[in-house]
Amino acid sequence: MKKNLFLAIALLISGNVFAATDHYVLRDGDYVRHLKVIKINADYIVSADVDFESTAKEGSAHCSQAVSGKATSTGENELVMKKHSSSAASSCELKIKLSPNGAKIEESKDCDTFTVDKCHFSSGNKELIKVN
């Protein structure tokens, strides 16, 4: 009986995986940006989306785009996620700078193949706020 209990505890301990998920949101005028960063042990998975809906009376415009994939750590609190386009010979690269309270996103010029018109993943110089 003790052997079985010890074996069950050993399996539980060895199977533990450290995982954490952080969400970041920025509402800026007609834009809403969302970033989700999942960390499983030393691996990162990033999901970014942007929604734009014009509040102007004339010519209502709307777009909604998302991109996700594995990211690599390029330094302390810095991640880079590259997503290759299936329709073009280019890739979208998101550079993410994390802080204790938020995140900033910069996108490469090739992200235009993943977005349309006014939708862009880049947050400019504004920080997405970390939500619990």
> Tell me: the pLDDT tens digits for 31-80?
999 999 999 988 999 999 999 887 776 666 788 889 999 999 998 899 99
- Distance of CA 86 to CAs 1, 49, 109, Å? 56, 18, 17
- H helices of 20-99, where? none
Amino acid at 105: I
pLDDT at 9: 55
At 15 the pLDDT is 53
Q: What is the mean pLDDT of residues 5-19?
A: 57
Task: Kindly tell me if the per-residue pLDDT of 12 is higher than 60.
Answer: no
The structure's pTM equals 0.80
Q: What's the CA gap between 119 and 12, in Å, rounded? A: 45
